[in-house]
Amino acid sequence: MKLREIIEKLKLKVLTAQDKLETEVSGGYTSDLLSDVMANSREGNLWVTLQTHQNIIAVAKLKDLAGIIIVNKRQPDQETMKKAEEEKVPLLATELTSFKISGELFELMRSKD
Amino acid sequence: MLRSMRADLHIHTCLSPCADLKMSPSAIAEQAKLKEIDILGICDHNSAENVPALIKAARKFKLNVLPGMEVTSQEEVHILALFDTAEAAFKLQQVVYDHLPGENDEKAFGMQVVVNEKGEVLRFNKRLLIGASTLSVERVVETIHSFHGLAIASHIDREGFSLVSQLGFIPEHLMLDALEISPKTSLEEAKSRFQNTFPFTTFSDAHFLEEIGKACTCFYIEEGNTEEIRKALQNEEGRKIIH
């Protein structure tokens, strides 16, 4: 499923990298430990987290993730936004919790299988 | 005169909810003397309220006490802060308290006991000291430095509450003075696992009396203060880490 379609269906707010939304999403990964994401996420995954530190951009880039969903109305700091724009990593925002957005993403992707 | 000084700069007291209630100032000082430690760092979670009692209790043992705290950032990274005076530690404590939500639940997390040098209970701290502040890791390090303290990333080899577990890797722009590895990892192992330019230290992170001195770092310095330790970490003016 294309990232753009997920963004529309889950009503995500696009914060950065508007031109990188045609990526194919391979699945999701939900975790707030960046060491765990580095070890266990897969290429093309959409990552759900509440971490807003700029290291999230480096991890997304390193693992070739499709994008990052920031949950719970959290606002990434300026440095993180700047890095995301430079590295072309889509940062997406939702007011939902990790539990709810992961559930919605799971259902949406399962319905397309 | 330069000499070797043995430092355990990461010791909790009975103020930390997760530490043993036997961690009273005089018991800690006595244990440190037994373990031949010259410099003690008192670092309770997000608070420095037992520092004055420790300074007093350590006097008769002629130990150097560095007032400190172990601050929890919003990313849940633990950072050690070490100062030369209790006043400086209290300045940091005020900033942390202003950014530390929640109230402690003694049944769930443990008691947070503020004591005098004799170990007599003065009060119970009501804040959620085990919780995370809303300060970013960068802000924590900047704040420590603004009060002229040393900022050391705690137990980076641990799977929780460490810079590496929470943030995946050490942000290169972070102005840390050193990294701490826990007693379970050897220096050689740490150096090959976490390749970077920061100096390595190892301390006990003692929550129980018998853990004090389980890991120490020896500094070749003149006095047991932060300025001398900073020089040793930077290998300046003949000061160095001996390990």
Beta-carbon contacts of residue B193 (< 8 Å; ≥ 6 apart): B157, B185
Q: Does any CB of chain A come closer than 8 Å to the CB of residue B134?
A: no
Collect all residues of chain A within an 8 Å Cβ-Cβ radius of residue B171.
53-55
Collect all residues of chain B within an 8 Å Cβ-Cβ radius of residue A34.
165-169
Instruction: Pick A53's closest partner by Cβ from B136, B164, B165.
Output: B136
Q: CA A90: distance to chain centroid? A: 7
Q: Does any CB of chain A come closer than 8 Å to the CB of residue B153?
A: no
Confidence tier at B243 by pLDDT (50, 70, 90)? confident
Would you call A33 and B164 a contact, using CB atoms and an 8 Å cutoff? no
User: How far B166 CA sits from the closest chain A CA (Å)?
Assistant: 5
pLDDT value at position A113? 60
For chain B, what is the mean pLDDT?
96
Residues of A with CB under 8 A from a CB of B: 32-35, 37-38, 51, 53-55, 58-59, 77
> Whole-angstrom Cα distance, residue B121 to residue B105?
18
Please tell me what DSSP assigns to residue B83.
Answer: -
User: Which tens digits make up the pLDDT trace of B167-178?
Assistant: 999 998 999 999
Please tell me what DSSP assigns to residue B6.
Answer: E
Beta-carbon contacts of residue B130 (< 8 Å; ≥ 6 apart): B17, B18, B45, B104, B109
With 0.95 as the threshold, say if the pTM is over it: no
Confidence tier at B197 by pLDDT (50, 70, 90)? confident
Confidence tier at B158 by pLDDT (50, 70, 90)? very high
Triad B57, B243, B138: Cα angle to 5° = 75
Q: Which residues of chain A have pLDDT under 70?
A: 113
User: Which tens digits make up the pLDDT trace of B10-34?
Assistant: 999 999 999 999 999 999 999 999 9
Beta-carbon contacts of residue B2 (< 8 Å; ≥ 6 apart): B220, B221, B222, B238, B239
